[in-house]
Each structure stands twice: as C-alpha cells, then as structure tokens.
Amino acid sequence: MARKKENVQFAICVSNDGYPASLELRKVYRLVADPLAATRHFVRVVDESGEDYLYPEEFFVPIEVPQAAQGVFAHAS
C-alpha cells in the first residue's frame, strides 16, 4: 500500500517580539500541524532550538514552497 505524502507547510517570520533568541526575522520556518493551537490563533513552529513550540500566528506569513525544494527547507529548519 502506497503511503500518502505528508503536506509540509512553511512560513516566514515577520515578528519575533519577546522571542529574539528563538525566532529570526525573515527566516523560513517549518510548521507542525496543531488544529487546537490554530483555534486559539497560535501556530506550532520548529524554532532555532530544533524543537516545536507555539507562537502567535501573526508572527508568521504562510508561504508555498515547491515540492522539489521542501526537503532543503525541512533540513534547514
């Protein structure tokens, strides 16, 4: 049985107020799906620590990354 590819999402950081060590402005970050966080206007992001944490959704602008480039961004995050 073929395994369905996971839809990886990315966003650009546009604000890091209160989190300058964890988030770099204008950097592309990988998002982790978290429907409950989304209902509360947060996104789960793999930050500079390499772990995923919740941040206000207004800190990020979602972007579309071509499938061919997703691996590069995923390893860089």
Amino acid at 73: F
pLDDT in tens, the chain (77 residues): 443 445 679 999 999 999 999 999 999 999 999 999 999 999 999 999 999 999 999 999 999 887 777 777 666 55
pLDDT for the residue 69 = 75
Q: Name the pTM for this structure.
A: 0.79
pLDDT for the residue 77 = 52
**Phi, then psi, of 33 in degrees rounded to 5:** -60, 130
Domain ranges of the chain: 9-76
Architecture of the domain spanning 9-76? Roll (2.30)
